[in-house]
Structure 1
Amino acid sequence: MTKGIISIAFCLITSYFTQAQNAFSIKQAQEHALNNNYDIKNAQLDVEHASKKMQETLSVGLPQINADIEWQNFIEVPTTLVPASQFNPEAPDNIYTEMQFGIPHSTNASITASQLIFNGSYLVGLKAAKYFMKFAKTRKNLTESQIKDSVATAYFNVLIAKENSDFIESIVRIHKDIVEEIQEKYLNGFVEDLEVDRMFLILSQMEMQYANTQRQTEIAEAYLKLIIGSPLEDEIILSDSLEQLLNASVNFKLEEAQIENRLEYKMADMKIRLKELDMRRYQSDHLPTVSAFASIGRNAMGVDFNAFEENVNWYPSQLVGVKISLPIFDGLGGMAKTQQARLIYEQAKNDKNQITANLKLAFLASQSNYLNAISNYNHEQNNVILSKKIYDKTLEKYREGLVSSIELSEAGSDYLETSTNLSQSIYNLLINNLNYQRCLGK
Structure 2
Amino acid sequence: MSINVFQHIRLKALLCFTVLISTQLMAKELTLDEAVNIALIKSENIQQSLLDMELAQEQVEEAWSSVYPQISAQVQGIRHTKAPVLQFNGTSVPVKQDWELLSSLQINQVIYSFGRVGSALKMAKLSSKVQKKAKEVVEREIRYAVELSYYNVQLAQNILKISQDSLENAKKNQQALQKRFQGGRVPRLDNLRMESEIASRKPVVSNAKKSLDLAYLQLNLFLKNKIDERPVLTTKLESSFASLNESSLKKKTADAPQIKLSELQVDLAVKQVDFEKSYHYPTISAFGNVSHNGTGDTMPPDDDNLFTSTSIGLMINIPLYEGGAVSSRTRQKVLKRRQAQIKLQKQVEDLEMKLQSSIVEYKTNLDRLKSAKEAVNLSKQAYYLTRSRYETGGATRNDLNDSERSLTSARIQVETIMFEIYQNKSDIRRITEKVAQNG
TM-score scaled by structure 1? 0.83
Deviation at 1:318, TM superposition (A): 4.1
SS in 2 for 1:62: coil
404, 407, 417: which is aligned to 1:425?
417
SS in 2 for 1:347: helix
Q: Give the superposed CA RMSD.
A: 3.4
SS in 1 for 2:247: coil
Mark the runs of 5 or more structure 2 residues left unpaired by the alignment.
1-8, 435-439
**8 A Cα contact 1:250 1:374, kept in partner:** no
128, 135, 153: which is aligned to 2:130?
135
| Superimposed CA distance per residue, residues 157-177 of structure 1 (whole angstroms, 9 cap, x where no aligned partner) | 011111111122223233334
Matches within 5 A, 1:106-121: 106-119=100-113, 120-121=115-116
Q: Compared with structure 1, are the counterparts of its residues 408 and 121 closer, same or farther at alpha carbon in structure 2 (3 Å cutoff)?
A: same
Q: Compared with structure 1, are the counterparts of its residues 68 and 427 closer, same or farther at alpha carbon in structure 2 (3 Å cutoff)?
A: same
Mark the runs of 5 or more structure 1 residues left unpaired by the alignment.
89-96
| Superimposed CA distance per residue, residues 173-218 of structure 1 (whole angstroms, 9 cap, x where no aligned partner) | 3333444665698897431232222222211222221121111111
TM-score scaled by structure 2? 0.84
For residues 430 and 264 of structure 1, what CA distance do their matches in structure 2 show?
Answer: 22
Q: Match of 1:264, as an amino acid?
A: Q
For residues 43 and 17 of structure 1, what CA distance do their matches in structure 2 show?
Answer: 36
**8 A Cα contact 2:259 2:348, kept in partner:** yes
35, 44, 57: which is aligned to 2:41?
35
Q: Match of 1:164, as an amino acid?
A: I
Tell me whether 1:211 sits opposite 2:211 in the alignment. Answer: no
**8 A Cα contact 2:289 2:311, kept in partner:** yes
For residues 362 and 176 of structure 2, what CA distance do their matches in structure 1 show?
Answer: 46
Deviation at 1:407, TM superposition (A): 2.5
**8 A Cα contact 2:283 2:317, kept in partner:** yes
**8 A Cα contact 2:179 2:391, kept in partner:** no
What residue number does 1:23 align with?
29
SS in 1 for 2:74: strand
Q: Match of 1:409, as an amino acid?
A: N
For residues 200 and 102 of structure 1, what CA distance do their matches in structure 2 show?
Answer: 114
Q: Match of 1:38, as an amino acid?
A: E
Tell me whether 1:402 sits opposite 2:394 in the alignment. Answer: yes
What residue number does 2:261 align with?
267
What residue number does 2:70 align with?
64
Q: Compared with structure 1, are the counterparts of its residues 180 and 392 closer, same or farther at alpha carbon in structure 2 (3 Å cutoff)?
A: closer
Q: Match of 2:29, as an amino acid?
A: A
Tell me whether 1:390 sits opposite 2:385 in the alignment. Answer: no
For residues 174 and 99 of structure 2, what CA distance do their matches in structure 1 show?
Answer: 108
Tell me whether 1:46 sits opposite 2:52 in the alignment. Answer: yes
Q: Match of 2:96, as an amino acid?
A: G
For residues 100 and 300 of structure 1, what CA distance do their matches in structure 2 show?
Answer: 14
What residue number does 1:87 align with?
89
For residues 303 and 102 of structure 2, what CA distance do their matches in structure 1 show?
Answer: 17
210, 213, 220: which is aligned to 2:215?
220
For residues 21 and 66 of structure 2, what CA distance do their matches in structure 1 show?
Answer: 58
For residues 106 and 245 of structure 2, what CA distance do their matches in structure 1 show?
Answer: 68
360, 374, 377: which is aligned to 2:352?
360
SS in 2 for 1:235: coil
For residues 254 and 58 of structure 2, what CA distance do their matches in structure 1 show?
Answer: 29
Tell me whether 1:193 sits opposite 2:171 in the alignment. Answer: no
Q: Compared with structure 1, are the counterparts of its residues 327 and 172 closer, same or farther at alpha carbon in structure 2 (3 Å cutoff)?
A: same
Identity of counterpart residues, as a percentage? 20
More off after superposition, 349-358 vs 127-136: 349-358
Query: How many residue pairs are counted as aligned between the two chains?
Result: 421
308, 316, 327: which is aligned to 1:324?
316
| Superimposed CA distance per residue, residues 261-304 of structure 1 (whole angstroms, 9 cap, x where no aligned partner) | 12222122212211111111122223322233334454464556
What residue number does 1:369 align with?
361
For residues 284 and 421 of structure 2, what CA distance do their matches in structure 1 show?
Answer: 64
166, 176, 186: which is aligned to 1:171?
166
For residues 302 and 335 of structure 1, what CA distance do their matches in structure 2 show?
Answer: 53
Q: Compared with structure 1, are the counterparts of its residues 237 and 337 closer, same or farther at alpha carbon in structure 2 (3 Å cutoff)?
A: same
Tell me whether 1:151 sits opposite 2:153 in the alignment. Answer: no
Matches within 5 A, 1:237-252: 237-242=232-237, 244=238, 246-247=239-240, 249-252=241-244
Deviation at 1:238, TM superposition (A): 0.9
**8 A Cα contact 1:151 1:224, kept in partner:** yes
**8 A Cα contact 1:373 1:432, kept in partner:** no
